[in-house]
């Protein structure tokens, strides 16, 4: 595919656009490269937060929220529920949108929900080495996989007793 692409595509600025793109030399098709959408949740069971220890890179061995890439043809809500199942065999009831984070450095948009587990049954899925439910005071902050996980946890904490709030975005200070 790479060899075929190199022969049939070249970099140019399509009509009406403002940046270089890969454009098919034969038909003019523009091969847009767009950010990936990550969906996930801060999910609770009896005031304990579900975290998953990553069994894969990047950040293998570190703790994260159940989250991952949105699939084609899937709503963000369906994706958040699917990711919780895949990573922790957890069934979720989504409460509301918690945050939308922009991570341009890695071309991601992350959509995070507040959620509750349908029951306390969890177990590690194929991408998790282990899963556990943590009291706030026991969260392994030094072993959190990604900055957005810390942001989502802190944003959940700020809104845990709120029923109505606007979704959060990236913290101004990045912390």
Q: According to the model, what pLDDT value does residue 1 have?
A: 45
Higher per-residue confidence, 174 vs 149: 149
Q: According to the model, what pLDDT value does residue 80 have?
A: 98
Judge whether residue 155 has pLDDT over 90: yes
Cis peptide before 146 (omega within 30 of 0): no
Domains of the chain in sequence order: 2-31 (no CATH), 36-159 (3.90.79.10)
Higher per-residue confidence, 52 vs 5: 52
Q: What are the tokens at 158?
A: 């700020």
Instruction: Please tell me what DSSP assigns to residue 124.
Output: -
Whether residue 172 contacts residue 134, with contact meaning beta carbons closer than 8 Å, is answered with no
Q: Using CA atoms, how far apart are residues 162 and 26, in angstroms rounded to an integer?
A: 56
Is-above-0.85 flag for pTM? yes
């Amino acid at each position: 595919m790479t060899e075929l692409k190199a022969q049939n595509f070249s970099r140019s600025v399509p009509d009406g656009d403002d940046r270089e793109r890969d454009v098919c030399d034969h038909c003019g098709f523009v091969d847009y490269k767009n950010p990936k959408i990550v969906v996930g949740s801060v999910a609770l069971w009896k005031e304990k937060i579900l975290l998953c220890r990553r069994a894969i890179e990047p950040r293998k061995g570190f703790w994260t929220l159940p989250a991952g890439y949105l699939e084609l043809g899937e709503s963000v809500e369906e994706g958040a529920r699917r990711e919780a199942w895949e990573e922790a065999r957890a069934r979720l009831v989504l409460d509301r949108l918690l945050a939308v984070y922009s991570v341009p450095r890695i071309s991601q948009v992350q959509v995070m929900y507040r959620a509750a587990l349908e029951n306390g049954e969890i177990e590690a899925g194929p991408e998790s080495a282990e899963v556990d439910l943590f009291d706030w005071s026991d969260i392994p902050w030094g072993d959190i996989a990604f900055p957005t996980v810390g942001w989502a946890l802190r944003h959940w904490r700020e809104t845990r007793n709120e029923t109505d709030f606007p979704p959060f975005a990236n913290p101004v200070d990045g912390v």
